[in-house]
Amino acid sequence: MPVPNARPVAFVTPENPANSPAARMRSRVYSQQFRDAKPINFGKRSPRKLAVHGVDVSRWQGEIDWAKLRSRGANFAYIKATDGGDHLDPMFKKNWRRAQAAGLKRGAYHFFYWCRTAGEQADWFIRNVPREADALPPVIDVEYNGESSCKRRLSPARVREKMQVFMDKLERHYGQRPIIYTAPDFYRDNLDGAFPNHPFWLRSVAAHPSKVYPGRKWIFWQYSGSGLSHGVDGRIDLNVFHGSEEDWHAWVAARST
């Protein structure tokens, strides 16, 4: 899955643009109107200068008014689906349906447990997440969770080996290369320079990703964990797509063919 080019991707205009697959895939891009409980000044490379913003959610956001959230600038959503090999987020199915009905592009993410085998985790995700043509690529969330009962710390080589098994199985099933979500410490210890052909979704809430993950190309940037928006009670994670609005439409269309 290539990272979008810096310049917009040109489309060949069909005889009837309104009925073309690309035109049908396009949805309105809403400008972001989120607030932030802990705003950061990112300077000249602010995420606000990028066109396509979105959110990621789990059970902790409770009942979401997806239509209202979309109108405030959530053009895409990554929805928590599974943990490990036996946990399904209780809000996943409802969020999955309602986000689509509200017109958001949506994908599912899996929180990886280091105490379970990669194969059984992939099977669990596949069992619970539908294979749908309009879905965004699946995401593997790799980080260490201090609150987890699993305290295992693997070698970087073993971390990457387990990730590869999981991602290969998902790619075969969904026909899309999974996106890797990670945070600075885990990336530094395990992923720096690894998986050059996989797209990355990077958490960086205090500085631009280029400073925190030097040399790493990325497709999504999680720039805040303290977002505020109509449609959600409490705080929500804010994200942005790396590219222009035209890049976004091209990337989504390529994922949906």
pLDDT for position 150: 74
CATH homologous superfamily of 51-255 = Glycosidases (3.20.20.80)
Residue 149 is predicted with a pLDDT of 72
| Per-domain residue ranges of the chain | 51-255
Quick: pLDDT tens for 179-198.
999 999 999 999 999 999 99
Kindly tell me if the per-residue pLDDT of 257 is higher than 90. no
Enter the pTM of the model.
Answer: 0.89
Q: How confident is the model over 134-167, as pLDDT tens digits? A: 999 999 999 987 767 777 789 999 999 999 999 9
Active site residue ranges: 56, 143
Average pLDDT value for residue range 224-228: 97
**pLDDT tens-digit map of 98-133:** 999 999 999 999 999 999 999 999 999 999 999 999
Read off the tokens for 18: 């309104």
- Is residue 11 pLDDT above 90, yes or no? no
